[in-house]
Amino acid sequence: MKSRFLIGLLCGLVALPVFANEAEIQKAMQAKLGARVESVTKAGYLGLYEVYVDGQIVYVDEKMTTMIVAGQLYDLKANRNITDARMRKLTAINFSDLPLDQAIKVVRGDGKRVLATFEDPNCGYCKRLAKDLQRLDNVTIYTFLYPILSEDSLKKSRQIWCSADRVKAWNDWMVDGKQPGGRDNCDTKAVTRNQEFGRKLNITGTPTLIFADGERVPGAVPIATIEQKLAQQK
């Protein structure tokens, strides 16, 4: 999908007029690409503008004659990946905006630290994460069932959601490998809404972790990194 987007991006930039500010660049990019441009800001390097479109960052000069696609911008003096830092900010999610009533909630210890995850029950990395999360204490974890891998993922998600004890059903499967049983025809609107919400946020892989400060981290994050992030919560 990204390759098609990049081809369209390159074709769409042909013969664009000269622009000098963010609003005009945003309008032109949006018109030419047929994709929503979320933001345009000065990158602060080499006269480039950062364009956030289709879930990724590209860079253009103010005359729109040069573009950097699928590249990483580094500040060598500060030894910092600028693109990565900006992506973390641009993809951040306000924790208070999460529909927590649609998640499986588990509280350990005082529960003061918070973490949310989007997970598919057939995701191998999610199973690894589930085992690691068993080691956390003084935390509240919200697990959003997010079946995106297969129809079986959807069936398992519904069975887990319909269980009398959702936390136990989730851990039985993810940690111990015990197949979820029982019905899958209760009110499972929460699972459907999670799918819709995740698509809206452009969550394309599982697991995806969301911390209290809104940072979104995809993939099976090492438990030490999770602990470090949780320790920063006040």
Q: Which amino acid is at 84?
A: D
- 2 — alpha (psi -120 to 50), left (phi > 0) or beta? alpha
One digit per residue, the tens of pLDDT, for the chain of length 234 reads: 455 555 555 555 544 455 558 888 888 878 777 788 889 989 888 889 989 888 888 888 888 778 788 888 998 989 988 888 888 888 889 999 999 999 999 999 999 999 999 999 999 999 999 999 999 999 999 999 999 999 999 999 999 999 999 999 999 999 999 999 888 999 999 999 999 999 998 899 999 999 999 999 988 889 999 999 999 886
- Give the C-alpha distances (Å, rounded to integers) separating 232 from 149, 170, 213, 214: 33, 28, 9, 13
Q: Helices then strands (H, E): number in the chain?
A: 8, 11
CATH class of the structural domain 95-231 = alpha beta
Q: What SS3 state is found at 108?
A: strand
Q: Which amino acid is at 166?
A: R
Quick one: pLDDT at residue 8?
53
- The domain locations on the chain are 2-90, 95-231
